[in-house]
Structure 1
Amino acid sequence: MLAGGHDHRYSQANAETMTESPLAAARRAPRETWVVVGAVAASQYLNHAYLVLFPPILAVLSGEFAVGLAALGVALGVQGATNTAFQLPFGYLADRYDRTLALGLSSVLGAVGVVLAALAPSYEWLLAAQAVIGVGVAGHHPAHYPLISDATPDDLMGRAYSVYGFGGSLGFATPPVLLASVVAAGYSWRLGVGAIGVVGLLFGLLVTLLFAVGVDDGVTRPNRDLGAGEGADRPVVARVRAYLRGLTASRGVLVLALLALVTSTAGWGFTSYVVVFLQDGYGLSLSRANLALTGSYLVGAVAVFVGGDLADRVSAGPVMLASFAALSALVAVFAVGVVGPLVAVGLVLLIGGVRSVAGPARSKLTDALAPSGATGTSFAVTTVGVMLGNAVAPPAFGYLIETAGREAAFLGVAAVSLLAVGITVGLLTRFGDA
C-alpha cells in the first residue's frame, strides 16, 4: 500500500520486481491496465497538443492579428488561467461523482475550443477560444490520474505514468512540426489547428463511450462514498467548505503544488519562446527552430520511460533532484549564447530529455502523498500549480524578452529551475520519498 493509503485493487508485488525489466513488467500487467493507461495516454496526447498550438507560430499570429509577443503571451496565459480555475471543480467531479463524465466533458470542451481558435477572425475571438480550451484541458489530470491509479498495480505505477507521459510528450511534439509544415506548404495555420480540433472531438466521443461501457466500475467510480458529512442532502456551501478543508489538510500535496508551479513556470518559459530564441539568437529558420522543439519533445518522450523505470527501481526524490539540477545548468548554457547553432539545437534536445525524466517521479510522489479517496483532487491541486505556471510564464517571460532581452529571460528560466531543487530538498526532508 502506498503512503497515501489508497485502495488499489491490486496488491503490491515483492522486492523481486525491483530487478524486473520494463518488458517483463509490461507483460504481467493486467489487460485492464493496458486499456486504461493506453486510453488516457492518447487523451493526454491531445491534451498536450492543445497546450502548445500557438508557440510554434507566434510570429505568424503576430502578423495576422497585428499584436506583439506580450499580447500573444496574454493569450497563452488566458488558457492557463481558465485551466487553473476549473481544476478543483473537475477534481471534485472525479472524486465524488463520476470520472467518465469528467473525462468526457473535458475532452469535448477542449476540442470545441480548438475548433473555435481555428475560426478566430480577431485577437479577441482568439482569447475567448483559448479560455474554452483551458476549461476543457482542466478536466484531464483530475480524471486521468485516478483512473491510472486504480487500474494499475502499485509496483508498476512509475512505469504506467511513464507511458502516460510518453503520450503527453508526443502531443507536445506534434503541433510544431505539423503547423510549421502546413505554413511552409503555403496553407493557413487554421487548417492544421482545425484538423487537431476535429480529431480531438471524435476522440472525445469515443473515449467517453469506452469508459462508460468497456471499463470496470471499480476503476471509473470514485473511491470515496458520500458520507453523512458530505452527502447531497447538505447545503452546497457546506459541502464546498468541507471540500476545501480537506484540500488544506494534506500539506505534502500543497508543497508539491508549489513545486509544480515553479517547474511549470520554468518549463513554459522555455517552451513558449525557444523557437523565437533559436531564430533571433542563433539564426535558425522557423522550420528548423520548430524541428528542434519537436525533437526536444521526442527526446522527452523516450526519456520519460527512463524516469518511470528509475522511479520504480530507486525512488522519486533522487530522480527529481537530478532532473531539476541538470535542467537549470543546461538552460543557463543555452541562455548565455556561448555555443554555436548546432550545439544550441543539441542543448534543446537535452533539455527536453532531462525535464521529462522527473515527470513520472513527481506523479508517483503525488499519488503516495494523496489522502485516501482524494487522488483526483490531489492531482487537481498539483495541476493548479502547473497551470498557474502556464498562465504566468508566457506574459512574464515575453515581457522580459521585450524589456531586458532574450539572454536575461532565459537566465531567469534557469534560476527558476534551480529554485525547484531547493523546494524538492525541503519536500523530501519533511515528508519523505515515495
Structure 2
Amino acid sequence: MSFSSLRTLPREAFVVLSLVSGSHLVNHMYLVLFPPILGVLATEFDVTLATLGFAMGAQAFVNTAFQLPFGYLSDTYDRTLTLGLCLVLGGVGTLVLAAAPTFEWLLVGQVLVGVGVAGHHPSHYPLLSDATTETNRGRVFSVHGFAGNVGFAAPPVVIVAIMSVAGLTWRHAFGAIGALGLAYAVLAVFVSLRYVPRSVRRPNRVDDAAGAAASPGSTDTTGPTPSRRGRVRAQVATLLDSPKILALGLLALVASTAMWGITSFIVTLLEQGYGVESSTASLTLSVMFGVGAVFMLVGGDLTDRFAPAPLIAVSYALVTLFVLLLASFVLPPLAAVFAAVVGGSVGSLSTPARDKLADILSARADLGRNFAIVTVGVMVGNTVAPPLFGVLIETSGFRVGFASIAVVALGVVGLIVAIVAKWGDGFSIGESSPSTDAVDVSR
C-alpha cells in the first residue's frame, strides 16, 4: 500500500484533509453516544429500550431529512459555514443531552444532534475534492473514512473511562464530548478562513443556459429572478435527471442496511447464538470498527490503483460469504468471532471507491448535493436495518436473520453489476475530472 502521494500534498490540501478528518471523528462520536449506556439511560429516565430506540431513530430521521438542505447550503453559499454550523449544532445537542432533566429533553437533544451531524458529509467531500487531485483522492477519502471509524470506536472508551472516576457520570462524559465539539468548531472555522483558499471554501458555480449567453462580466438583471419554489423545482428536476447519482444513493442504502444489520446484532449473535462471553462479544464490536478503519485505508489505495466498481463487488461478496458462515452455525466460537470481525469490517474496503465514484459523477457545482444523496442512502439504511432484522431475529431466529443480512449484502454485488452493465466501463474505471465534461458524467 502506497501513500507516498499524501506526503507530497500541498499545504492547503493537507490542512483541508486534517480539518475534515477531525470533524468526521467528532461527528461520528455524536452518532454513537447512546449504545454504550442504554441500560443506564433506561433506568435514569424510567423508559424502555424501545423508547430509547425511538429517540435514536428520531436522530437518524432528522439526519436524513437535513442532508439535502445542507447540500444546498454547501453548494450555494459557503462550505466553511456548513462545516462550522454542523459542528456547533451537534455540540449544542450533545450538551442538551448532558443536561436533560426528562426524556422529552433527551429527545430534543437527539434531534439537535441529528440536524448538526447532517451537515458534515455535504461540507467535507466538496472541500476534499476541490483541495486534492484525482490521482490521490481515493487515498484522501480513505483517511477521512479512517477518522470516522475512530469516531465510532471512541465514545464507549471515553464514556466508560469518565464514568469510572468517582463522582462522575454519563452526563459529564456527554458534556466533555459536546465541549470538545464546540471547541473544535471554533478551531476548524478559524483555520479554514485563515489557511484554506477561498476557491476551495466557496462553492463552484457553473453558468446555466441563460447565463452562458451573457458575457462573464454582464450585469444584465432584466430576466426574472427565480422564486424559492422555482429553485426547489429546478433542484429536484436536476436530481431526477442524474440517474447515476440516484443509483449510487440506492447502492449506499443497500450496503448500509447490510452493514448496520451486522453492527446492530453481532454482539447478541455471538453471546446468545455462539455462547461467547459478553465482554469478548463487546470487544469484538470494537475490534470490528478498528479493522474496518484499516480496510478503509487499504480500500483508498486500491481505489486509486484499480477500478472502483469491481472493488465494491469483491468487498460485498466477502461480506456475504462471512455472514453466511455465521448464519450457518457450523463454526466454533473462536472462528465465529473471527468471521464476525471480517464480515463486519471488510465492507469498508468499498467506501473510498463509492466516494470516488460520487466525485467522478459530479459536476463541480453539485458536489455537496450529490454527496448528500449518497449520505441519505446511508442514513436510510441505518434507520431501516435495526427494526427490520430485529423483527426477523425475534420471529425466526438468528439463522434466518443473518441469512437475510447476507442476501442484502449480495444485493450490493448485484446492483453494482447492473449499474456497470447499464452505463458501461465509464462507471467502473477512473474517468477524467468531471470539470472537463460536466454534463456527460453527471447525467
Structure 1 length normalisation: TM-score?
A: 0.88
Q: CA deviation at 1:24?
A: 2.4
Please give the alpha-carbon distance, in whole angstroms, between the structure 1 residues aligned to 2:112 and 2:210: 34
Give the counterpart letter for 1:89 in structure 2: P
Name the stretch that deviates more: 424-433 or 21-30.
21-30
Give the counterpart letter for 2:170 in structure 1: W
Please give the alpha-carbon distance, in whole angstroms, between the structure 1 residues aligned to 2:157 and 2:279: 8
Deviations 1:100-157 (A, max 9, x none): 1111101111111122223334433333222111111110000000000000011111
Q: 1:307-346 residue pairs with structure 2 within 5 A?
A: 307-346=299-338
Q: 1:380 aligns with which of 369, 372, 376?
A: 372
Please give the alpha-carbon distance, in whole angstroms, between the structure 1 residues aligned to 2:48 and 2:409: 27
Q: CA deviation at 1:47?
A: 1.4
Q: 1:79 aligns with which of 59, 69, 84?
A: 59
Match of 2:145 in 1: 165
Please state if 1:430 is matched with 2:422. Answer: yes
Please give the alpha-carbon distance, in whole angstroms, between the structure 1 residues aligned to 2:263 and 2:164: 21
Please state if 1:256 is matched with 2:248. Answer: yes
Q: CA deviation at 1:424?
A: 1.0
Larger Rg: 2
Match of 1:93 in 2: 73
Give the counterpart letter for 2:362 in structure 1: A
Deviations 1:4-36 (A, max 9, x none): xxxxxxxxxxxxxxxxx6242123221211110
Q: CA deviation at 1:297?
A: 1.0
Give the counterpart letter for 1:234 in structure 2: P
Q: How many residues are aligned here?
A: 414
SS of the residue corresponding to residue 365 of structure 2 reads coil
Q: CA deviation at 1:225?
A: 5.3
Give the counterpart letter for 2:41 in structure 1: L
After superposition, the Cα gap between the structure-2 partners of 1:141 and 1:327, relative to the gap in structure 1 and judged at 3 Å, is same
After superposition, the Cα gap between the structure-2 partners of 1:57 and 1:292, relative to the gap in structure 1 and judged at 3 Å, is farther
Q: What's the RMSD between the two structures over aligned residues?
A: 2.3
Please give the alpha-carbon distance, in whole angstroms, between the structure 2 residues aligned to 1:65 and 1:269: 27
Name the stretch that deviates more: 76-85 or 24-33.
24-33
After superposition, the Cα gap between the structure-2 partners of 1:125 and 1:416, relative to the gap in structure 1 and judged at 3 Å, is farther
Give the counterpart letter for 1:28 in structure 2: T
Please give the alpha-carbon distance, in whole angstroms, between the structure 1 residues aligned to 2:399 and 2:93: 34
Please give the alpha-carbon distance, in whole angstroms, between the structure 1 residues aligned to 2:366 and 2:252: 18
After superposition, the Cα gap between the structure-2 partners of 1:140 and 1:71, relative to the gap in structure 1 and judged at 3 Å, is same
Give the counterpart letter for 2:401 in structure 1: A
Match of 2:341 in 1: 349
Q: CA deviation at 1:66?
A: 4.3
SS of the residue corresponding to residue 135 of structure 2 reads helix
Please give the alpha-carbon distance, in whole angstroms, between the structure 1 residues aligned to 2:330 and 2:30: 34
Give the counterpart letter for 2:15 in structure 1: V
Q: 2:226 aligns with which of 218, 231, 234?
A: 234
Match of 1:196 in 2: 177
Contact 1:256 1:382 (C-alpha < 8 Å) held by counterparts: yes
Please give the alpha-carbon distance, in whole angstroms, between the structure 2 residues aligned to 1:118 and 1:410: 35
Give the counterpart letter for 1:87 in structure 2: Q
Please give the alpha-carbon distance, in whole angstroms, between the structure 1 residues aligned to 2:330 and 2:308: 33
Match of 2:438 in 1: none
Q: 2:188 aligns with which of 181, 186, 207?
A: 207
Please give the alpha-carbon distance, in whole angstroms, between the structure 2 residues aligned to 1:397 and 1:185: 37
SS of the residue corresponding to residue 421 of structure 2 reads helix
Give the counterpart letter for 1:272 in structure 2: S
Contact 2:3 2:301 (C-alpha < 8 Å) held by counterparts: no
Please give the alpha-carbon distance, in whole angstroms, between the structure 1 residues aligned to 2:150 and 2:240: 34
Please give the alpha-carbon distance, in whole angstroms, between the structure 2 residues aligned to 1:152 and 1:347: 36
Give the counterpart letter for 2:194 in structure 1: V
The percentage of counterpart residues that share the same residue type is 48
Unaligned segments of structure 1, at least 5 residues: 1-20
Structure 2 length normalisation: TM-score?
A: 0.87
Contact 1:401 1:408 (C-alpha < 8 Å) held by counterparts: yes
Q: 1:111-260 residue pairs with structure 2 within 5 A?
A: 111-182=91-162, 188-224=169-205, 233-260=225-252
Contact 1:279 1:286 (C-alpha < 8 Å) held by counterparts: yes
Please give the alpha-carbon distance, in whole angstroms, between the structure 1 residues aligned to 2:399 and 2:351: 27
Please give the alpha-carbon distance, in whole angstroms, between the structure 2 residues aligned to 1:147 and 1:310: 22
Contact 1:102 1:139 (C-alpha < 8 Å) held by counterparts: yes
Please give the alpha-carbon distance, in whole angstroms, between the structure 1 residues aligned to 2:246 and 2:156: 33
SS of the residue corresponding to residue 419 of structure 1 reads helix
Unaligned segments of structure 2, at least 5 residues: 212-220, 431-443
Contact 2:15 2:195 (C-alpha < 8 Å) held by counterparts: no
Give the counterpart letter for 2:156 in structure 1: P
Match of 1:54 in 2: 34
Greater RCO (CA < 8 Å, at least 6 residues apart): 1
After superposition, the Cα gap between the structure-2 partners of 1:340 and 1:193, relative to the gap in structure 1 and judged at 3 Å, is farther
Please give the alpha-carbon distance, in whole angstroms, between the structure 2 residues aligned to 1:51 and 1:137: 8
After superposition, the Cα gap between the structure-2 partners of 1:273 and 1:194, relative to the gap in structure 1 and judged at 3 Å, is farther
Q: CA deviation at 1:95?
A: 0.6
